[in-house]
Amino acid sequence: MNKSSLSKNHLVALILAGGKSSRMGQDKALMLWENIPMLKRVYQVANKCTEKVYIITPWPEKYQPIIPIECEWLIELKNEGPLVAFTEGLTQINSDWILLLGCDLPLLNSNIIQTWATKLNQLSPEILALVPQKSQRWEPLCGFYRQQIKIELEKTISQDNCSFQKLLVKIPVQPLFIDSQIEKMLFNCNTPF
């Protein structure tokens, strides 16, 4: 599948690169995986699968040297976690669907992402997200979200609840089945390897 077949969904990607990497002890986005910074690896997959790629971060100047110029940078102002960063990003993006990705997914597979994206046109309008799920646990930082989810995000944050897991059990979500290949793809680096 190529980008033009996805364009009817107006699918863009938003990569979160604002974490403190406290468990890792160093900036995950800049860590090399097979000699490529992890943020760049995620960008490359996102760029294959979507019309446009945005990166939201408090530190664009730190990452701009490793990312192609056609990427659009959004400034994360609050740096209060992924749910808040996603909400900030949505206020600056005008698209039907957003592929939300963490910057620490070095094994992302564009074929799997593109296959998932074909399901977007089949979802009923009340479904706000298409997200991988295994054993009642969501993988929210590799999922698709409708622009309309912003209302639910703002409600959740206003209630001092910044948990993707709690948000996703309250809204209409279509789960994506996780097999062993997808589980491998969803590996995220939180501790040194």
- Please, which pLDDT band fits residue 7 given cuts at 50, 70 and 90? very low
Bridge partner list, 174: 130
Secondary structure (3-state) at 6: helix
Secondary structure (3-state) at 111: helix
In angstroms, rounded to a whole number, what is the distance separating the alpha carbons of residues 92 and 109? 27
Secondary structure (3-state) at 68: coil
Question: Domains in the chain, please, with CATH?
Answer: 3-185 (3.90.550.10)
**What is the average pLDDT value for the chain, to the nearest integer?**
89
Whether residue 185 has pLDDT greater than 60: yes
pTM score of the predicted model: 0.90
In angstroms, rounded to a whole number, what is the distance separating the alpha carbons of residues 38 and 161? 29
- Give the containing element (helix H, strand E) for 101: strand 97-102
119, 11 contact by CB (below 8 A): no
Encoding tokens for residue 110?
């564009």
pLDDT in tens, 77-97: 888 899 999 999 999 999 999
- How much is the average pLDDT of 153-172? 91
Encoding tokens for residue 156?
């959740």
Q: What is the 3-state secondary structure (H, E, C) of 153-192?
A: HHHHHHCCCCCHHHHHHHCCEEEEECCHHHHHHCCCCCCC
